[in-house]
């Protein structure tokens, strides 16, 4: 496969793997703070990111490239608040969207129309991921700290799809 594309897809493996670890760190912290619903949402999100990483890995290998399993930096151990967790999720997803868009740009530059077609799945996925993070932040604003118990119970309603779907 095109070497420049392969490099950028491998760089995306790093990002999707880190996303998974970041959400796992958030899940673990929220679980230890007693937010079982929120942690459930974040554990599921971490699994989904792992699947995003695997899709890239198989695509690179299927196209006669070589997927590289990266060393990862450690995500934070604790977080300031639930609000900050979801602000970080939203900011992180926006950075992932920018990164996917760079891959799309390169597929045009390199005339790699197969990868261009294949990466559209991620383009659509990012629309969904940003939307969900924004909705959760809106809901948090509406419910406020006093209703955190209900928010924690309700958050799984924001999972519209199954892991790996
Ligand atoms: Fe795999 Fe949340 O982007």
Evaluate whether residue 104 is within a structural domain.
yes
Q: Is the CB of 17 under 6 A from ligand 1?
A: no
Residue-number span of the structural domain to which 92 is assigned: 3-158
Distances in whole angstroms, Cα of residue 127 to Cα of each of 32, 48, 82, 131: 30, 15, 23, 6
Evaluate whether residue 144 is within a structural domain.
yes
Give tens-digit pLDDT for 124-144. Answer: 999 999 999 999 999 888 877
Tokens coding 12: 């995306």
What is the position in ligand 1's atom list of the atom closest to the CA of 52?
A: 1
* Cα 151 to ligand 1 centroid, rounded to whole Å: 23
pLDDT band at 160 (very low <50, low <70, confident <90, very high): low
Evaluate whether residue 165 is within a structural domain.
no
Evaluate whether residue 164 is within a structural domain.
no
pLDDT band at 34 (very low <50, low <70, confident <90, very high): very high
Q: Is the CB of 96 under 6 A from ligand 1?
A: yes
Here the CATH number for the domain that contains residue 19 is 1.20.1260.10
Model pLDDT, residue 129: 95
Evaluate whether residue 143 is within a structural domain.
yes
Distances in whole angstroms, Cα of residue 145 to Cα of each of 90, 133, 159: 19, 18, 22
Model pLDDT, residue 164: 53
Residue with CA at minimum distance from ligand 1 atom 1: 49
Judged against a pLDDT cut of 80, whether residue 149 lies above it is answered with no
Q: Give the dihedral of Cα atoms 87, 91, 93, 96; nearest 10 deg.
A: -160
Burial-class residue 136 by CB neighbours within 10 Å (0-12, 13-18, 19+): buried
Evaluate whether residue 163 is within a structural domain.
no
Q: Look at the chain and report how many structural domains it folds into.
A: 1
pTM of full prediction above 0.75: yes
Tell me which residue of 122, 141, 4 sits closest to 56, measured CA to CA: 122
């Amino acid at each position: 496969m095109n070497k420049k594309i392969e490099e950028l897809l491998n760089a995306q493996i790093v990002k999707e793997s880190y996303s998974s670890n970041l959400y796992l760190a958030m899940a673990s912290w929220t679980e230890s703070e007693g937010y079982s619903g929120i942690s459930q949402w974040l554990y599921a999100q971490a699994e989904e990111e792992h699947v995003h990483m695997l899709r890239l890995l198989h695509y690179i290998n299927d196209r006669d490239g070589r997927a590289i399993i990266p060393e990862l930096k450690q995500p934070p151990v604790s977080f300031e608040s639930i609000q900050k967790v979801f602000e970080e999720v939203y900011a992180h997803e926006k950075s992932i969207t920018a990164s996917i868009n760079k891959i799309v740009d390169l597929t045009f530059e390199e005339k790699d129309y197969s990868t261009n077609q294949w990466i559209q799945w991620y383009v659509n996925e990012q629309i969904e991921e940003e939307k969900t993070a924004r909705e959760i932040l809106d809901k948090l604003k509406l419910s406020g700290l006093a209703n955190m118990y209900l928010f924690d119970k309700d958050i799984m309603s924001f999972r519209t799809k199954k892991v790996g779907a």
